Structure 1
């Protein structure tokens, strides 16, 4: 397993290099002049040119890329065009609220999705199954921004129970986490049900029942571990999507996270911040997939890494 882990870590470097090239080309294709935005709309052309030279945007694309790549290799991801602060500082201040929101959303979504999926599989084609799958389809079909606005209208405007914006207390996490985790819970429920239905039809499950074991023992001891392997894969992917895809929810609730930072950076054509955030999201997905692969061996000891 250690050899497998080290090989996957070394495989990060070429992947990140390719992503860095693509992101650099993409952000320089965005319409708009970052120097004009940084200098202000009322600045004259001479001031704009001075700002462009200060930011290094007057150089050719190959020169800019070479400078960007060398700085990134030294661990320097640049300075924000918008705030003139180090990009690492900008992201560091916004990362923790996004991470906590993602963990909160993932925790309730996984628990809720697993329970609904298992119950639906055990009571297949009965009313618990129909009710659970109806909730799952509703969760997938309802857009996140619409759900967030509906929750705010009910629990904030109508009842006055919960705050709508900010991240100052645990109450601020309730509505955004429900909005962000609804689709994940729905996907987890459907995926868990499909996995459990498949495992329930296996020979070893029939053998366990023939031995006279109680149904809860068969489900918990014999089915759960075997059904969790594809579910864990889905959990890892969904966690990556939540961590990097909370932009809409953060915009609705004015959440001070990296999703909102990315939106502001795109609007202001803040190239260094955009590049750093996209690279960070790519690295997150790669590391999450690596963790999922390692979890396979813990869930099912028969899996070996060669």
Structure 2
């Protein structure tokens, strides 16, 4: 197991290098002049040239990439064009709100997804299954930004039960986390149902029932661990999507997270922020996949990495 983890960690290097090249080229080939945006709309050409030199944009593209990669290897992603603050400080200030929102949304998604999926599998083709799958299809079909606006209109504007925007108290997390986790809960419910239906048809389940065990014991003790193996894979990937895909939800609820920071950076062509955030999202996905692979052996001891 230890050697497998080391190999996966070493495999991060070429993957991140490839991502860095693609992100750098994509950002620098976008139309527009970051130096012009940083200097202001009324700046003359001399001022724009000075700003361009200060940002290092006057150098050849290969030299810019080499400098970017060397600095990134030391944790230095430069300074934000918009705020003039170090990029690492900008991201650090926004990372915690996004991480907290993602964790809360994932808790909602796992809770509702597993309950609906297991119930639908146990009572297959009965009313719990039909109700659960109807909710799952609705959750997948309904866009996140529309759901967020609907929840905000009902629970904040009409009823006044919950705050609209911000992240000051735990009550601010309810609507954004439900909005963010709805689609994940729907996908998890359908995935869990499919996995459980397959496990319920195995011989060891029939043997457990023949021994006189209750259905609750059969489902929890014998089915759950085996059915969770593919579900854990999906959970890990969905957590990565939540962490990197909360942009629309953060915009709707004015959440001070990384998604909102990325939107502002794209509007201002703040390429140091854009590059750093996309690299961070890529690293998160790779790390989450590694954690999921390691969890396989914890859930099912029969799995061994050689």
TM-score range, shorter chain: over 0.9
Match of 2:263 in 1: 263
Q: Alignment partner of 2:256: what SS?
A: coil
- Deviations along 1:197-237, one digit per CA (max 9) or x if unpaired, are 00001111111111111111110111000000000000000
Partners of 1:45 and 1:161 in 2: CA distance: 54
2:306 matches 1:293: no
Q: How far apart are the structure 2 equivalents of 1:108 and 1:253?
A: 18
Matched, 1:48 2:48: yes
The 5 Å alignment of 1:203-242 reads 203-242=203-242
State how 1:108-257 maps to structure 2 within 5 Å.
Answer: 108-257=108-257
Post-superposition shift, 1:286?
A: 0.4
- The runs of at least 4 aligned residues of structure 1 exceeding 6 Å deviation read none
d(CA) in 1 for partners of 2:305, 2:77 = 35
- TM-score, normalised to structure 2, is 0.99
Quote the Cα distance in structure 2 between the aligned partners of 1:167 and 1:16: 32
| Separation (CA, whole Å) in 2 of partners of 1:298 and 1:281 | 26
Aligned-pair CA distance for 1:72: 1.2
Distance in 2, matches of 1:54 and 1:87, equals: 16
Residue 33 (structure 1) aligned with residue 37 (structure 2):
no
Q: CA deviation at 1:71?
A: 0.9
**Distance across 1 between alignment mates of 2:192 and 2:74:** 44
DSSP 3-state at the match of 2:88: helix
Query: Distance in 2 between the 1:154 and 1:101 partners?
Result: 21
- Once residues 190 and 159 of structure 1 are traced to their aligned partners in structure 2, the CA distance between those partners, rounded to angstroms, is 32
Q: CA deviation at 1:60?
A: 1.0
CA distance in 1, matches of 2:79, 2:105: 32
Superposed displacement of residue 67, structure 1: 0.8
Matched, 1:81 2:51: no
Cα separation, 1, equivalents of 2:75 and 2:132: 48
Count of residue pairs brought into register by the alignment = 306
What does the per-residue CA deviation read over 1:248-278, in whole Å, with 9 as the maximum and x for residues that have no partner?
A: 0001111000000000001111111100000
- Residue 64, structure 1, aligned to residue 64, structure 2: yes
**Gap runs ≥5 in structure 2:** none
Alpha-carbon distance in structure 2 between the residues aligned to 1:233 and 1:146: 28
Task: Provide the rounded CA distance (Å) in 1 between the counterparts of 2:163 and 2:28.
Answer: 39
Structure 1 residues not aligned, in runs of 5+:
none
